[in-house]
Structure 1
């Protein structure tokens, strides 16, 4: 997938020039404290550039729908977040959808808008379910999972050795104008 578009957003592959914008996401404790697996704040733009370089190099080797993408706002071209689909440990059978936004963009519906587009595309790639995991106190992530049409399926410590809420979506769960 090169790019997805929604009413307000473009979901696209990361570029090295996104380092400053990515640092405003992954260099902020308000974001990184919730990530699974736990990720320390990226220290500076040079370190962020190294992280992006690794993501960009990994992307072509990931079997669809796996990957990492930037969320870019259409009206001003600002990179405001990131999305990912990857295998959940330890068994690497379940695919996890994750999303991260700059804190100043929280509450605008961007994660659900971009995540919904990515879910719809992912279900064209011969998969039948996606999961999201959230720490029990991460009410924003839990709310976004529900807005994405994901159902709560329980709590587990199976993933990342953390106690997490687990949500799942299947193609039949999707509701919205594209269905």
Structure 2
């Protein structure tokens, strides 16, 4: 398995789902960074109130609570960075920047497929049939990114051999 193919495959997901990822990531980024920035001071303030009211402390018998807070902050910080990167990739894909399509076109294996509405169906060289989404806001066409492929048309698909989910519709070749 090629490491660069795997990286392109991972980046290709937010690129091919650009419109949806833009909205999902835009709302998620704020929440992730808020949870990453939130400190243990909230529970410290609650412990002060419990102490003042004469109630038992909730943190008694929990010596690893501070470690769990740090792990939570790290996890949500990393998740926030991933979602921010997905947001940027989704916006760039929605405005038409071909981020991964050039690599897939240059290194992909050609095969014949069919477009059926918002779906593309093709069979890989391994004999596995794939039916994948071809989003209307970020269609997977290359090198002519403005070309339109209608429903029911036979097309040439180029896909990465190790990751067939990363594909482009080749606009320079016809299936005949």
TM-score by length of 1: 0.26
Larger relative CO (CA 8 A, sep 6+): 1 or 2?
A: 2
The structure whose residues are more often helix, as a share, is: 2
TM-score by length of 2: 0.26
The structure whose residues are more often strand, as a share, is: 1
